[in-house]
A and B are shown apart, each in its own frame.
Chain A
Amino acid sequence: DIVMTQSPVSLPVTPGEPASISCRSSQSLLHSNGHTYLDWYLQKPGKSPQLLIYLGSNRASGVPDRFSGSGSGTDFSLQISRVEAGDVGVYYCMQALQTPRTFGQGTKLEIK
């Protein structure tokens, strides 16, 4: 199984400041078709997960352009350019290259 490792576990951020979350996979997530099969999800408190980013860097419909994904191979990151109060929750990366689909342990973003 592909192991996904996120850091940090907890991320306190001042509103208006940027934030970055790292995600590493135990093997490359590059598909033979040239795309990287890495998603990012946000689970707001008491809510279901919601898709933020797919294929490593593509924003899902309705996701503000404050959110961006980058990386390749085994190293990825999610950046938020200016954190807002509504961004609080747990962020997960998930590899969709192979089954079982596996998640990072999550990064809890909180407002300072």
Chain B
Amino acid sequence: EVQLVESGGGLVQPGRSLTLSCTASGFSFGDYAISWFRQAPGKGLEWIGFIISGGTTENAASVKGRFTISREDSNGIAYLQMNSLKTEDTGVYYCSRDRRPFGMDVWGQGTTVTVSS
């Protein structure tokens, strides 16, 4: 079964760091880009950034300089390292298999990040 599973969410204080993982199974991970999205409580979807096969990344302006996306193709894992967290970073974080222009066709179940003192 083609699947993505996020992990690593939790409660963290403002200014601290957290790293999320996105573990893939059922497909050749290294052949695909991975995108990260988030959803603040009761709000819509926001694109955070992506990492393509080969490692090139791009981030949204709202997280640039604070969030870093990386990947470990040998283990089928993508990471979202989040530094200098703010309360407005609170939400559910999703990773997806990015088959642009054929869409984000596989999504993880999401992991919840709460930034609060």
Where the two chains meet, the residues of A that have a C-beta atom closer than 8 Å to any C-beta of B are 31, 35, 37, 39, 41, 43, 48-51, 53-55, 58, 60-61, 90, 92, 94, 96, 99-106
Mostly helix, strand, loop or mixed at chain B's interface?
Answer: strand
* A58 vs chain B, min Cβ distance (A): 8
* B91 at interface, CB cutoff 8 A: no
Q: How many chain B residues touch the partner (CB < 8 A)?
A: 22
Q: Which residues of A contact B60 (CB under 8 A)?
A: 99-100
By the criterion CB–CB under 8 Å, are B101 and A96 in contact?
yes
CA distance A55 to B44 in the complex (A): 21
Nearest B residue to A36 via CB reads B101
B69-102 vs A, Cβ < 8 Å mask (1 yes, 0 no): 0000000000000000000000000101000111
CB-CB under 8 A for A37 and B108, given A100-B47, A100-B60, A100-B61: no
